[in-house]
Structure 1
Amino acid sequence: MAYLPDDLPLPRTDEIDTAAWWEKIANNEFVVQQCDDCGIYRNPPAPLCNECLSFNHHLEPVPNATGKIYSYTICYHPVHAALRDWPPYNVAIIELDDVSQGTGLGGVRFVGNIIDAEHEDLYVGMPVKQTFEERGGVNLVQWLKA
């Protein structure tokens, strides 16, 4: 069973700034955009580096990505009709290990769900590892307890 219901709207995978990223994700390749000029990583993918303002970048593979919960919440209120009868679910911000977004800024952050944890087991700083979850033909980046 998917962590969230199948009739929940899916993200757009064809937007110019993110299409290449979604293509890699569709092939089960976890990647993070990296500036070719200053080396800073960023998420979400964007045309311009917010550190040095360069337009030069590539998608850097991050195999076996790990991180820690930076923040999380448990959602009880349905924000979409598809969630009306769905049980409460978590939404977490994950800060990646070893993928810096700049001096003193910590790791690059991703939003997702911890799909194998009970709500009471979640805590800030909890180690997690990246996984994929297919829904409606789209691979989503999700997280498991590490």
Structure 2
Amino acid sequence: MTAVDHPADQAPKPRPYPERDSAPWWERVNQHRFELQRCDGCGAWRWPPRAMCGRCASFQFTWTPLSGQATVESWVVNHHAFLPGFTSPYTVVLGRLEEQDDLCLPATWQGDEEPAPGQPVEVAFEDHTDDEGPFTLLAWRPA
């Protein structure tokens, strides 16, 4: 099975509605900046964005750029379009970040072939527009 391209004439993707901790993440994604919180206390990367470090309980952090490199940890091929804007089947990949072995981020797949375990991938940005204006979502593509 292969991943499916998303035609330009389909319904728009669902827009993220950020809350207090995720708003700075989505602002960066909209600017095509791949950055995460990095704890100033212990150096751990934080995902999802949150006020306190899960390792050392520090409230101090800095938004820091990542390489954008990862490996495929897992994926799922959805055969039912649960929301408008997704053409079935569509693939979601869990990418294990190069910077921190225990950190994985989910995103849509931009590959022509089905992903493979351990496959090198890189971050991509998908620009979309809806009635509220432009927004960007994260994706993984083969490196």
Q: TM range, normalised to the smaller chain?
A: 0.7 to 0.9
Q: Which runs of 5+ in 1 are unaligned?
A: 101-105
Cα drift, residue 78 of structure 1: 2.3
Displaced runs of 4 or more, over 2 A? 1-8, 80-83, 116-119
- Matched with 2:55 is 51
Q: For CA contacts below 8 A with separation 6 or more, give which structure has more relative contact order.
A: 2
Q: Distance in 2 between matches of 1:59 and 1:33?
A: 4
Over the residues paired in the alignment, what is the CA RMSD in angstroms? 2.0
Question: Is 1:89 paired with 2:90?
Answer: yes
1:77 counterpart letter in structure 2:
H
1:99-118 equivalence runs, <5 A? 99-100=99-100, 106-118=101-113
Contact kept in structure 2, 1:34 and 1:40, CA below 8 Å: yes
- Which residue in the other structure is 1:131 paired with? 124
CA distance, structure 2, for counterparts of residue 27 and residue 79 of structure 1: 27
C-alpha distance in 2 between matches for 1:67 and 1:35:
20
Q: Matched residue pairs, number?
A: 134
TM-score (norm 1): 0.82
Show structure 2 runs of 5+ residues with no match: none
* Kept in 2: contact 1:132–1:141 (CA 8 A): yes
Identity, % of aligned positions: 28
* CA distance, structure 2, for counterparts of residue 6 and residue 30 of structure 1: 26
Question: Could you tell me the TM-score, scaled by structure 2's length?
Answer: 0.84
